[in-house]
Structure 1
């Protein structure tokens, strides 16, 4: 892993697998041009290094943001006093995390 980088990058995976950055990109995006043996070596290097997709970068390249918004009409000071809301939000976040999505929580005032 690159010591100057706080997280594992595609370059780190390429170096570990002994392939180009382009080969790693093709393997990660399930594109042709990489043999099955090389593809497996790339994924093994990614697992060893603990690489995972960077959601912000993926959103920029795909023009898709996997974020679900939730608006709760409740004063912030009351949310901590009502266990239902914390369990509710936690449950939503758990389900979204399984699908590589994020939760955007917005507290709104009564109208």
Structure 2
């Protein structure tokens, strides 16, 4: 199929029918009988209404997975790690600069 993510079964068969109609005919210019039968089968498929299918009800979560304090603590830890890394990089740059001046 040309389209990787079709919108559903109806879109799939519509695209399949369009591809079938756009294909090159054989040298005699006639469409083989078995192809006609396939096209009739595709058109005879029942229409599926995706709205008629319902998803299960989702119950709301009573408590959030993370509290505000958890998020703030994680951010502070990440900032502390980044500060340590930055200090180490500054130290290396300073050492390299002093080596270059010598």
Considering the TM-score relative to the shorter chain, is it more than 0.5? no
User: Which of the pair is proportionally richer in strand?
Assistant: 1
User: Which of the pair is proportionally richer in helix?
Assistant: 2
TM-score when scaled to structure 2? 0.25
TM-score when scaled to structure 1? 0.24
- Highest CA radius of gyration, 1 or 2? 2
